[in-house]
């Protein structure tokens, strides 16, 4: 219900023309406020007006970033596309989208989610803003810019609950099959109102709740990644987690920015080792959370890492040259063609003292002649300089057994 304090020159007819969708609804306002003469309303009198009667103007959001299969009202989405009230936004597998609202509020959908923009408008009577996003399936995250106007709000809803805020970072999810709703707060406070007979709950930062819970519970701590900042040089990107008590499974996302406005990939599962597809070279961020048995997603840990693909393949062959046998060791580094190399050759019986340790090589082969019988190992290190920074990587050891000849 909206409230309006009558100004000099106002009457119900003029107010209806200015602020009501249908001017004839002045009669509703008249009855509700028990006004005898619609032409004579005392200055300063507060009027109660049902919000559904009020005129409004649309607010437009835009697609800030997207990755993969994202559709808006069944059409393929594109960066910069307008998003208006009534739109249905859906993401496919390994697909993500972030919407930006005029005040800088960001709404992000991970993969396999569907959200309807139920309200995105400004009410003309008091200039307050209504923003309501209905989660029909999956999850949604919001970073809501604090609002000065006390009447404005931001809400997520599911068929099972509503979460409303005035400025915070929080998440909400809905499982279409189990009809289970969750809400988690990372900053600020959230009013969580289950649709059933449960009492409304106020969730503080670091707490969450669900339609299956009687009240707020603490979120799980952020899981720790092992050697998260190491250079990712293999074909696939891999991260290992330390076990976290209370975790039912883990959720990892890779983003192009520390705020994860542009999400590029994600995994979710019970494994403590997660693998991602290849990415172009550059600097990225990984965010890790743990999910408990109530399906509440915990606090996040964010790490920066560098991606520098550097594949190394090795081979060896032998041949006789006169009375000597020659051993040719080769390597290929398709991602580091301008690298320098270090070649190491050791006897398995005493690997701490390399028989050969040659540095500064520019070619991709090395020859050793007339080796005695024995078991050996060899490996190659590539070193390249990119934008003033040096990157080095060893290949795995390769075996060489010489039985005599």
Residue pLDDT, tens place only, 43-101: 999 999 998 999 999 999 999 999 999 999 999 999 999 999 999 999 999 999 999 99
Are residues 105 and 181 both part of a single domain? yes
Last residue of a domain, one of 272, 307, 342: 307
388: confidence class by pLDDT, cuts 50, 70, 90 = confident
Are residues 68 and 211 both part of a single domain? yes
Are residues 357 and 302 both part of a single domain? no
CA dihedral 116, 84, 152, 155 (to 10 degrees): 10
Are residues 78 and 153 both part of a single domain? yes
Are residues 210 and 289 both part of a single domain? no
Are residues 396 and 374 both part of a single domain? yes
Last residue of a domain, one of 17, 33, 54: 54
Lowest mean pLDDT among 80-84, 203-207, 333-337: 333-337
What pLDDT does residue 189 have? 94
What pLDDT does residue 404 have? 65
Are residues 73 and 188 both part of a single domain? yes
Q: What kind and span of H or E run contains 19?
A: helix 12-19
Number of domains in the chain: 4
pTM of the model: 0.86
Are residues 64 and 151 both part of a single domain? yes
Last residue of a domain, one of 281, 307, 333: 307
What sign for the dihedral angle of Cα 105, 106, 109, 114? Answer: positive
Question: Is 60 exceeded by the pLDDT of residue 405?
Answer: no
Are residues 41 and 64 both part of a single domain? no
Domain harbouring 368, CATH code: 2.60.40.10
State how far the Cα of 105 lies from the Cα of 145, in Å rounded to an integer: 5
124: confidence class by pLDDT, cuts 50, 70, 90 = very high
Are residues 62 and 208 both part of a single domain? yes
Q: Kindly report the average pLDDT of the chain as a whole number.
A: 94
State how far the Cα of 155 lies from the Cα of 132, in Å rounded to an integer: 5
Range of the domain at 370: 313-402
């Amino acid at each position: 219900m909206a409230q309006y304090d009558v100004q000099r020159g106002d009457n119900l007819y003029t107010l209806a023309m200015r602020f009501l969708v249908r001017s004839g609804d002045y009669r509703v306002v008249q009855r509700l406020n028990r006004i005898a003469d619609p032409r004579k309303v005392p200055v300063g009198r507060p009027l109660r007006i049902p919000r559904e009667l009020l005129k409004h103007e649309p607010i437009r959001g835009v697609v800030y970033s997207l990755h993969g299969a994202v559709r808006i009202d069944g059409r393929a989405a594109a960066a910069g596309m307008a998003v208006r009230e009534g739109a249905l936004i859906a993401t496919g597998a390994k697909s993500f989208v972030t919407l930006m609202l005029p005040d800088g509020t960001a709404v992000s959908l991970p993969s396999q989610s569907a959200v309807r923009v139920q309200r995105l408008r400004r009410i003309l009577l008091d200039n307050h803003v209504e923003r309501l996003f209905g989660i029909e399936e999956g999850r949604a995250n919001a970073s809501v810019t604090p609002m000065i106007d006390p009447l404005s709000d931001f809400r997520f809803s599911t068929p099972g609950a509503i979460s409303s805020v005035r400025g915070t970072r929080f998440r909400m999810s809905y499982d279409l099959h189990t009809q289970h709703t969750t809400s988690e707060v990372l900053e600020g406070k959230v009013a969580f109102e289950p649709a059933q007979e449960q009492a409304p709950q106020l969730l503080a930062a670091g707490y969450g709740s669900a339609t299956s819970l009687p009240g707020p519970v603490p979120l799980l701590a952020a899981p720790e990644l092992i050697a998260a900042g190491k250079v990712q040089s293999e074909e696939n990107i891999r991260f290992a987690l330390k076990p976290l008590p209370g975790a039912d499974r883990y959720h990892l996302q890779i983003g192009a920015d520390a705020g994860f406005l542009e999400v590029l990939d994600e995994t979710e599962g019970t494994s403590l080792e997660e693998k991602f597809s290849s990415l172009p070279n550059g600097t990225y961020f990984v965010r890790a959370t743990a999910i408990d048995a109530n399906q509440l997603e915990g606090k996040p840990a964010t790490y920066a890492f560098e991606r520098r693909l550097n594949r190394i393949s090795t081979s060896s062959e032998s041949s006789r040259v006169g009375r000597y046998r020659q051993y040719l060791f080769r390597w290929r580094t398709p991602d580091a063609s301008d690298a320098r190399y270090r070649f190491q050759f050791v006897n398995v019986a005493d690997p701490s003292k390399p028989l050969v340790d040659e540095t500064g090589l520019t070619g991709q082969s090395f020859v050793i002649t007339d080796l005695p019988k024995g078991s050996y190992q060899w490996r190659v290190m590539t070193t390249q300089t990119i934008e003033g920074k040096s990157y080095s990587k060893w290949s795995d050891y390769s075996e060489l057994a010489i039985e005599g000849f």
